[in-house]
Protein backbone atom coordinates (compact mmCIF):
# COMPACT_ATOMS: atom_id res chain seq x y z
CA UNK A 1 0.00 0.00 0.00
CA UNK A 2 2.72 2.47 0.94
CA UNK A 3 4.19 2.36 -2.54
CA UNK A 4 1.02 3.77 -3.94
CA UNK A 5 0.39 7.45 -4.20
CA UNK A 6 -1.54 9.15 -1.43
CA UNK A 7 -4.39 11.07 -3.05
CA UNK A 8 -5.87 12.66 0.05
CA UNK A 9 -4.52 13.17 3.53
CA UNK A 10 -6.84 14.49 6.22
CA UNK A 11 -5.13 15.63 9.38
CA UNK A 12 -6.65 16.68 12.71
CA UNK A 13 -9.79 17.87 10.99
CA UNK A 14 -12.17 19.67 13.30
CA UNK A 15 -15.61 20.92 12.20
CA UNK A 16 -18.26 22.61 14.30
CA UNK A 17 -21.80 23.88 13.94
CA UNK A 18 -21.66 26.86 16.29
CA UNK A 19 -20.81 25.34 19.64
CA UNK A 20 -21.61 21.78 18.55
CA UNK A 21 -18.42 19.99 17.62
CA UNK A 22 -19.41 17.45 14.99
CA UNK A 23 -15.97 16.28 13.85
CA UNK A 24 -13.25 16.14 16.50
CA UNK A 25 -9.72 16.10 15.12
CA UNK A 26 -9.95 13.14 12.78
CA UNK A 27 -7.16 11.95 10.52
CA UNK A 28 -7.33 9.54 7.62
CA UNK A 29 -5.88 9.06 4.20
CA UNK A 30 -6.96 7.73 0.86
CA UNK A 31 -4.63 6.16 -1.68
CA UNK A 32 -5.11 6.42 -5.40
CA UNK A 33 -7.42 3.73 -6.76
CA UNK A 34 -8.74 2.61 -3.39
CA UNK A 35 -12.25 2.33 -2.08
CA UNK A 36 -12.15 3.63 1.48
CA UNK A 37 -15.24 3.50 3.64
CA UNK A 38 -16.18 5.60 6.64
CA UNK A 39 -18.64 3.76 8.84
CA UNK A 40 -20.64 5.06 11.74
CA UNK A 41 -24.08 5.44 13.25
CA UNK A 42 -26.40 8.36 12.67
CA UNK A 43 -24.87 11.61 13.88
CA UNK A 44 -21.31 10.28 13.95
CA UNK A 45 -20.07 13.10 11.70
CA UNK A 46 -19.79 11.29 8.36
CA UNK A 47 -21.79 13.77 6.31
CA UNK A 48 -20.04 16.67 8.02
CA UNK A 49 -16.70 15.21 6.95
CA UNK A 50 -17.73 14.84 3.30
CA UNK A 51 -19.31 18.29 3.19
CA UNK A 52 -16.10 19.77 4.52
CA UNK A 53 -14.02 17.99 1.88
CA UNK A 54 -16.33 19.38 -0.81
CA UNK A 55 -16.01 22.87 0.64
CA UNK A 56 -19.63 23.27 1.72
CA UNK A 57 -18.52 23.59 5.35
CA UNK A 58 -15.49 25.41 6.69
CA UNK A 59 -13.08 23.45 8.86
CA UNK A 60 -12.43 24.91 12.28
CA UNK A 61 -8.90 23.55 12.20
CA UNK A 62 -6.84 20.83 10.62
CA UNK A 63 -6.06 20.18 7.00
CA UNK A 64 -7.35 18.31 3.97
CA UNK A 65 -4.55 17.81 1.50
CA UNK A 66 -5.46 16.60 -1.95
CA UNK A 67 -2.44 15.98 -4.14
CA UNK A 68 -0.46 19.19 -3.58
CA UNK A 69 -3.46 21.31 -2.67
CA UNK A 70 -4.91 22.42 0.66
CA UNK A 71 -8.66 22.09 0.18
CA UNK A 72 -9.82 23.86 3.34
CA UNK A 73 -9.24 27.26 1.78
CA UNK A 74 -10.80 26.52 -1.62
CA UNK A 75 -14.46 27.48 -2.27
CA UNK A 76 -16.93 24.67 -2.93
CA UNK A 77 -17.55 25.56 -6.57
CA UNK A 78 -13.85 25.19 -7.41
CA UNK A 79 -13.40 21.80 -5.78
CA UNK A 80 -15.22 19.69 -8.34
CA UNK A 81 -12.94 21.12 -11.02
CA UNK A 82 -9.97 19.76 -9.08
CA UNK A 83 -11.27 16.23 -9.49
CA UNK A 84 -13.43 15.60 -6.43
CA UNK A 85 -17.16 15.17 -6.88
CA UNK A 86 -19.86 14.09 -4.49
CA UNK A 87 -23.19 12.28 -4.57
CA UNK A 88 -24.61 13.82 -1.41
CA UNK A 89 -26.76 12.30 1.29
CA UNK A 90 -30.42 12.31 0.30
CA UNK A 91 -29.45 12.42 -3.40
CA UNK A 92 -30.28 16.13 -3.84
CA UNK A 93 -31.13 15.76 -7.53
CA UNK A 94 -32.66 18.81 -9.21
CA UNK A 95 -36.27 17.68 -9.18
CA UNK A 96 -37.76 20.04 -11.75
CA UNK A 97 -34.93 19.46 -14.22
CA UNK A 98 -34.84 16.46 -16.53
CA UNK A 99 -32.54 13.51 -15.95
CA UNK A 100 -30.39 14.64 -18.84
CA UNK A 101 -30.20 18.23 -17.58
CA UNK A 102 -29.11 16.89 -14.18
CA UNK A 103 -26.37 14.86 -15.81
CA UNK A 104 -25.20 17.77 -17.92
CA UNK A 105 -24.98 19.96 -14.82
CA UNK A 106 -22.67 17.33 -13.39
CA UNK A 107 -20.22 18.36 -16.10
CA UNK A 108 -20.68 22.08 -15.35
CA UNK A 109 -17.00 22.43 -14.40
CA UNK A 110 -15.96 21.08 -17.82
CA UNK A 111 -15.74 23.22 -20.92
CA UNK A 112 -17.54 20.61 -22.96
CA UNK A 113 -19.60 17.56 -22.15
CA UNK A 114 -17.75 14.35 -22.92
CA UNK A 115 -20.24 12.20 -24.80
CA UNK A 116 -18.19 9.09 -24.04
CA UNK A 117 -18.62 9.74 -20.32
CA UNK A 118 -22.34 10.25 -20.80
CA UNK A 119 -22.61 6.97 -22.72
CA UNK A 120 -20.63 5.19 -20.02
CA UNK A 121 -23.01 6.50 -17.34
CA UNK A 122 -26.01 5.39 -19.39
CA UNK A 123 -24.32 1.99 -19.65
CA UNK A 124 -23.86 1.85 -15.88
CA UNK A 125 -27.47 2.92 -15.34
CA UNK A 126 -29.65 1.94 -18.31
CA UNK A 127 -32.69 3.17 -16.36
CA UNK A 128 -31.39 6.72 -16.65
CA UNK A 129 -31.14 6.45 -20.40
CA UNK A 130 -34.73 5.21 -20.68
CA UNK A 131 -35.89 8.13 -18.58
CA UNK A 132 -33.53 10.86 -19.74
CA UNK A 133 -36.32 13.27 -20.71
CA UNK A 134 -38.26 12.70 -17.50
CA UNK A 135 -38.15 15.19 -14.60
CA UNK A 136 -35.76 13.96 -11.92
CA UNK A 137 -38.37 14.56 -9.22
CA UNK A 138 -40.60 11.89 -10.74
CA UNK A 139 -37.97 9.13 -10.46
CA UNK A 140 -38.10 6.48 -7.75
CA UNK A 141 -35.66 6.69 -4.85
CA UNK A 142 -33.32 4.13 -6.37
CA UNK A 143 -33.33 5.88 -9.73
CA UNK A 144 -32.63 9.20 -8.04
CA UNK A 145 -29.63 7.61 -6.33
CA UNK A 146 -28.39 6.36 -9.70
CA UNK A 147 -28.84 9.86 -11.05
CA UNK A 148 -26.95 11.41 -8.13
CA UNK A 149 -24.03 9.05 -8.73
CA UNK A 150 -24.17 9.49 -12.50
CA UNK A 151 -24.29 13.26 -12.12
CA UNK A 152 -21.20 13.15 -9.88
CA UNK A 153 -19.39 11.01 -12.46
CA UNK A 154 -20.08 13.48 -15.26
CA UNK A 155 -17.24 15.69 -14.00
CA UNK A 156 -14.89 12.74 -14.61
CA UNK A 157 -13.61 12.84 -11.04
CA UNK A 158 -10.42 11.28 -9.78
CA UNK A 159 -12.10 10.88 -6.43
CA UNK A 160 -15.78 10.21 -5.85
CA UNK A 161 -17.43 10.90 -2.51
CA UNK A 162 -20.56 8.86 -1.85
CA UNK A 163 -22.73 9.68 1.16
CA UNK A 164 -24.92 6.73 2.14
CA UNK A 165 -25.88 5.65 -1.37
CA UNK A 166 -27.87 2.72 0.01
CA UNK A 167 -29.98 4.79 2.40
CA UNK A 168 -33.67 3.91 2.16
CA UNK A 169 -33.30 1.56 -0.81
CA UNK A 170 -34.79 -1.92 -1.16
CA UNK A 171 -32.21 -4.75 -0.73
CA UNK A 172 -32.16 -5.57 -4.46
CA UNK A 173 -31.36 -2.00 -5.32
CA UNK A 174 -28.69 -1.81 -2.63
CA UNK A 175 -27.02 -4.72 -4.36
CA UNK A 176 -27.21 -3.02 -7.74
CA UNK A 177 -25.75 0.20 -6.37
CA UNK A 178 -22.83 -1.59 -4.70
CA UNK A 179 -22.25 -3.58 -7.87
CA UNK A 180 -22.00 -0.29 -9.75
CA UNK A 181 -19.59 1.21 -7.21
CA UNK A 182 -17.36 -1.80 -7.89
CA UNK A 183 -17.47 -1.04 -11.61
CA UNK A 184 -16.63 2.60 -10.90
CA UNK A 185 -13.62 1.49 -8.87
CA UNK A 186 -12.49 -0.75 -11.71
CA UNK A 187 -12.66 2.20 -14.08
CA UNK A 188 -9.91 3.78 -11.97
CA UNK A 189 -11.89 6.22 -9.83
CA UNK A 190 -10.89 6.47 -6.17
CA UNK A 191 -13.96 6.19 -3.94
CA UNK A 192 -14.59 7.49 -0.43
CA UNK A 193 -17.76 5.73 0.64
CA UNK A 194 -19.75 6.77 3.70
CA UNK A 195 -22.13 4.09 4.88
CA UNK A 196 -24.21 2.79 7.75
CA UNK A 197 -24.57 -0.50 5.92
CA UNK A 198 -21.22 -1.74 7.27
CA UNK A 199 -21.36 -5.25 5.89
CA UNK A 200 -21.93 -4.29 2.29
CA UNK A 201 -19.47 -1.41 2.51
CA UNK A 202 -16.66 -3.54 3.96
CA UNK A 203 -17.21 -6.26 1.39
CA UNK A 204 -16.52 -3.68 -1.30
CA UNK A 205 -13.91 -1.44 0.33
CA UNK A 206 -10.16 -1.93 0.64
CA UNK A 207 -9.97 -0.17 3.96
CA UNK A 208 -12.28 1.43 6.47
CA UNK A 209 -12.52 3.88 9.32
CA UNK A 210 -15.12 3.77 12.07
CA UNK A 211 -16.45 7.08 13.30
CA UNK A 212 -18.21 7.48 16.65
CA UNK A 213 -19.50 10.88 17.80
CA UNK A 214 -16.91 12.72 15.74
CA UNK A 215 -13.90 10.55 16.52
CA UNK A 216 -12.25 7.70 14.67
CA UNK A 217 -12.41 4.71 17.00
CA UNK A 218 -11.20 1.97 14.68
CA UNK A 219 -9.44 1.62 11.35
CA UNK A 220 -7.89 -1.07 9.24
CA UNK A 221 -8.24 -3.14 6.15
CA UNK A 222 -11.73 -4.36 5.41
CA UNK A 223 -10.69 -7.86 6.39
CA UNK A 224 -9.38 -6.68 9.75
CA UNK A 225 -12.53 -4.73 10.45
CA UNK A 226 -14.82 -7.56 9.38
CA UNK A 227 -13.00 -9.90 11.74
CA UNK A 228 -12.81 -7.53 14.69
CA UNK A 229 -15.16 -8.67 17.47
CA UNK A 230 -15.97 -5.09 18.50
CA UNK A 231 -16.97 -4.14 14.98
CA UNK A 232 -18.92 -7.35 14.55
CA UNK A 233 -20.93 -6.60 17.63
CA UNK A 234 -21.50 -2.90 17.09
CA UNK A 235 -21.94 -2.73 13.33
CA UNK A 236 -22.47 -6.18 11.88
CA UNK A 237 -25.15 -7.37 14.26
CA UNK A 238 -23.22 -10.35 15.56
CA UNK A 239 -22.98 -11.39 19.19
CA UNK A 240 -19.54 -11.53 20.79
Ligand X SMILES: Nc1ncnc2c1ncn2[C@@H]1O[C@H](COP(=O)(O)OP(=O)(O)O)[C@@H](O)[C@H]1O
Is the Cβ of residue 23 or residue 216 nearer to other proteins in the bound state? 23
Query: Judged by CB under 6 A, which stretch of 14-22, 108-116, 127-135, 198-206 contacts ligand X?
Result: 14-22
Query: Judged by CB under 8 A, which stretch of 38-46, 89-97, 118-126, 171-179 contacts other proteins?
Result: 89-97
Q: Minimum distance from CB of 46 to other proteins (Å)? A: 16
Residue 94 interacts with which of ligand X, Mg ion, other proteins, none, CB < 5 to 8 Å by class: other proteins
Residue 86, strand partner residues: 161
Nearest-angstrom CA–CA distance, 49 and 216: 12
Q: Which of 10, 13, 48, 197 binds ligand X (CB under 6 A)?
A: 48
Query: Judged by CB under 6 A, which stretch of 24-32, 40-48, 128-136, 215-223 contacts ligand X?
Result: 40-48
Nearest-angstrom CA–CA distance, 19 and 85: 29
Burial class (CB in 10 A: 0-12, 13-18, 19+), 181: buried
Nearest-angstrom CA–CA distance, 114 and 95: 23
Q: Minimum distance from CB of 204 to other proteins (Å)? A: 23
Residue 52 interacts with which of other proteins, ligand X, Mg ion, none, CB < 5 to 8 Å by class: none
Nearest-angstrom CA–CA distance, 206 and 4: 13
In 80-220, which ranges are continuous DSSP H helix? 99-106, 115-124, 126-130, 141-153, 171-186, 198-204
Q: Minimum distance from CB of 102 to other proteins (Å)? A: 8
Which residues contribute to the site for ligand X (CB under 6 A)? Answer: 17, 20, 22, 40, 42-48
Amino acid sequence: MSEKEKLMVVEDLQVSYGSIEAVKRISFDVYKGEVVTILGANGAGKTTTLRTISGLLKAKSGSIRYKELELTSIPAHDIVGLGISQAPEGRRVFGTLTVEENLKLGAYSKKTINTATLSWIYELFPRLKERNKQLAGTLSGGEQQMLAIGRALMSEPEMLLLDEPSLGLAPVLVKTIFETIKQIKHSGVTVLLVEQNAKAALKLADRGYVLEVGKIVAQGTSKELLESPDIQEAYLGKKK
